Amino acid sequence: MAESQFSKTAQPEGKTGTVDRKLLEILVCPVSKTTLIYDEGAQELISKAAKLAYPIREGVPIMLASEARRLED
């Protein structure tokens, strides 16, 4: 039986958790509609205007306010 093209991982080995830079350039905060700051170490997209940090899981930004971490002042 031939191996399905979908049985392979979506990201090359060693690239798990990385985010496409072009995607980062077009994403905005869904709450404030402002640009986001990519925190590579924390794997989060930061919205200073909304004071939220959106998680990035396995290279996929989770752009839901309900999933975001509230930033302290």
Residue 17 lies inside a defined structural domain of this protein: no
Residue 8 lies inside a defined structural domain of this protein: no
Residue 19 lies inside a defined structural domain of this protein: no
Contact assessment for residue 59 and residue 11, using Cβ atoms and an 8 Å cutoff: yes
Residue 33 lies inside a defined structural domain of this protein: yes
pLDDT of residue 18: 80
CATH number assigned to the domain comprising residue 72: 2.20.25.10
List the domain range (segments joined by +) for residue 43.
29-73
**Which residue spans within 8-70 are E strands per DSSP?**
37-39, 44-47, 52-57, 60-61, 69-70
Residue 1 lies inside a defined structural domain of this protein: no
Residue 51 lies inside a defined structural domain of this protein: yes
Q: pTM for this one?
A: 0.75
Q: What is the pLDDT of residues 4-62, one digit of tens each?
A: 343 333 444 334 468 898 999 999 999 999 999 999 999 999 999 999 999 999 999 99
Q: Please state the domain count of the chain.
A: 1
